[in-house]
Structure 1
Amino acid sequence: MNLHIHSILLQAFVSEYAVHGNDAGNGNLLAALAEGGFLIGLEKNSDVVAMASYAPLFVNANDRWWTPDAIVFNSAQLYGTPSYWVQQFFRESSGATLLNATLLTNSSSSIVASAISWEDSENAKSFLRIKVVNLRSNSVNLKVSVDGLGPNSIKLSGSTKTQLTSSNLKDENSFTEPNKVVPSLTLLENAAKDMDVVISPYSFTSFDLLRESVAMKMEGADSFSRSSI
């Protein structure tokens, strides 16, 4: 008798995720950071998780029956909650290459991070994106090291840092302050595949490192060739 064993790849769809409850308010920074850490976990397991969706997406401020929501509107205005802005950090994740990243810090229990390589087809540029969620009330010094890249693989200029944070975890956006909690983008000095960075308290930070036009070394680990969500 012959025994045949077939490998079945299961693809999961995580639908209608959101952090809600009293601590989440109408959509505050705390809820957004928790969702950011959750999404990074999905990204790192993208060999199984094929898709994910936030819900509810829209809410009319005059007919609110669920909180929080991603986008709030009325007859004349609209704004995105911090949860909406967190999802912007994952726009390039679909089809990207998930990399092995080592994070050296004494606060590993409060740090969630991932690294991907993605292509900007519009500008013909290649980037290494490192995303980090800091759930601590103090800054964290972080040493980042990414496997599979040569010593001069990151350009000296053209890299950026995008950060979502605020002075209070319970801060929310509103019609009167639609940009109270939104990402801020700055140029990144001394970018490299191995670098020391400081992560602000209660923040979601993305480092987009502009890569030189060289092939990335593929050293056999599954995570080098795995597509992220």
Structure 2
Amino acid sequence: MKKSFLIAILFAICNQLTFAQKETTIVTLKTDQKAPIINKHIYGHFAEHLGRSIYGGFFVGDTSKIPNTNGVRNDVVKALKELKIPNLRWPGGCFADTYHWKDGIGPKENRPTIVNQWWGGVTEDNSFGTHDFLNMCELLETEPYISGNVGSGSVQELSDWVQYTNFTGKSPMSDLRKQNGRTEPWKVKFWGIGNEAWGCGGNMKPEYYAGEYRKYTTFMPDGLTRIASGASSDDYKWTETLLKDIPLKMLGGVAIHHYAVIDWNKKGADVDFTEDLYFKTMKEALKMEELVTKHSAVMDKYDADKKIDLVVDEWGGWYDVQKDTNPGFLYQQNTMRDAVLAGATLNIFNNHADRVRMANLAQCVNVLQAVILTDKAKMILTPTYHVMKMYSVHQDAKLIPVSFNSPLYTFNGESLPAVSVSASKDKNGLVHISLVNVDAKNKNKVEIDISNLGIKNVSGTILTSSKLQDHNSFDVPNKIVPVAFKGFENKKGKLEIAIPPFSVITLEAK
């Protein structure tokens, strides 16, 4: 009996050792001289004339008691500059294909109004127009990305807009710009040729839109990055049609849009959600890996040299609006779920930096997965803001490819990859490794071999909280903020890390 008891103990110990080995995820960092640069424009943002995004969010008018510069909130500008936002997309979204830019220039008292048919049926007074947006981009030290009106506009209208913003010589549009107070052009580089042409941008078929794109871009000068209105999620036929029907020299980028929505008719609560809803949301968010891979494969068939950008210019979480708010304003809170979603998505973009060179979180202020929320004079930064700031270290850094087999996050018989990782090395030689644990309940152990990188010192930052539903509010604005992370050991060039549930970590090594 003693012998059998001893054997049983030894068997149990072996099982424990095997389990412990399986618990640790081994991450390999690869040194690849041909690895791409992570384009800073992956970290772009989006500001649509929707709800309180522009009015009350970015813009309060120059007579407001809220501190502002030419009507733009100083606190919002300061926060976004600290985020190092590389570009800002405007005026939509669906609004773009109803927007006529000449309504938003000249004396404000003379500007006509329109009805914002897409978002709440409210009156748009056009007090925030081209000058306001482009001057704001200068304040933000960011690149403007303008979405042109193809759905209800004309070739002449878009051609005039480009000339108005960019032409240095004498012309009708540059003269009009000077008449309206701006001598030097803004030199706008990024232009979207319509938005969601398959839906609110005109309900077009891909073949028809390809023809419209060719027509519109024919009358735009060379040297611009012209971005085609791309597919909704997994519509690979749309992407294939554009690459097949449009001469590659006319394409600067092809867009796709994907939101982590479980059911468009019943999206679920923004704060009071269950683990079931969290799991389903993350399942939709992590589909981005498949979407980027498959759209890239389609593009590779026609553009093997990867000259054309894949532009994910709308992404994020989309839930039911906050109680007692206008359903057309898309105002939602931002929890640790959004932080995890953002971190995992940005890791996907980083790891596909050979093709993904631009992306825009939807949206910047007071709409959907916002990084900033405002309430009159008050402003708070959301968990997503903090993730974007933590990840800003990857902007224009060289990708370090990673390989690992993720443990699984299992719920109700379904499983998702629990761990997400991306890494880069910046021009100063600093290595940054970003890790996300999607698992709602269990920590995950990771081991990263950094012995071949010549690293001596490692520090870390973590964003996490006690509950998935935790968020920053106007009463408690700093409930979730990044703090120093100490949950790792460097053992002879091997980092051993314990990642808490639903947390985002960035390590800096030098």
TM value normalised by structure 1: 0.73
- 1:47-86 alignment to 2 at 5 Å? 47-59=354-366, 66-86=367-387
C-alpha distance in 1 between matches for 2:355 and 2:392: 19
Partner of residue 443, structure 2: 139
| Contact 1:99 1:116 survives alignment (8 Å) | yes
For the pair 1:36 / 2:343, whether they are aligned, the reply is: yes
Q: SS in structure 2 opposite 1:67?
A: coil
Query: Paired residue for 2:396?
Result: 95
Q: How much does 1:22 deviate? A: 4.4
Structure 2 distance, partners of 1:205, 1:110, is 14
Match of 1:166 among 442, 465, 468: 465
Question: How far off its partner does 1:190 sit?
Answer: 3.2
The alpha-carbon deviation at position 80 of structure 1 amounts to 1.0
CA RMSD of aligned residues (A): 2.7
Which whole-Å deviations, capped at 9, do the CAs of 1:136-172 have from their partners, x for residues lacking one? 111111111258x25xx112x4x31110111111111
Unmatched 5+ stretches in structure 1: 60-65, 121-125, 211-229
Deviations, residues 119-138 of structure 1 (Å, cap 9, x unaligned): 45xxxxx3211111101111
Distance in structure 2 (CA, Å) of the matches to 1:164 and 1:204: 5
Paired position in structure 2 for 1:112: 420
Q: Which has the higher strand share?
A: 1
1:206 is displaced (CA, Å) by: 1.0
TM-score normalised by structure 2 residue count: 0.35
Shift in alpha-carbon separation, 1:105–1:53, aligned structure 2, 3 A: closer
Is the counterpart of residue 204 in structure 1 residue 509 in structure 2?
Answer: no
Q: What whole-Å deviation, never above 9, does each CA across 1:64-100 have from its counterpart, x for those lacking one?
A: xx43422011332211111111111221222211113
Closer, same or farther: CA 23–42 of 1 in aligned 2, 3 Å = farther
- Amino acid paired to 1:135: V
Structure 2: distance between partners of 1:192 and 1:183: 28
* Matching residue of 1:20: 318
Matches within 5 A, 1:172-187: 172-186=471-485
CA offsets, 1:17-59, max 9 Å, x none? 2112149951111122112111100110001011112122112
Q: Structure 2 counterpart of 1:12, which letter?
A: L
Higher RCO, 1 vs 2 (CA within 8 Å, ≥6 residues apart): 1
- Percent of residue pairs identical: 24
| Count of aligned positions | 190
The 3-state SS of whatever aligns with 1:90 is helix
CA shift in 2, pair 1:141/1:75, >3 Å: same
Report SS of the residue matched to 2:317. coil
Unmatched tracts of structure 2, length 5 or more: 1-301, 323-331, 410-416
Whether the aligned pair in 2 keeps the contact of 1:103 and 1:142 (CA below 8 Å) is no
User: 1:175: how far off?
Assistant: 1.1
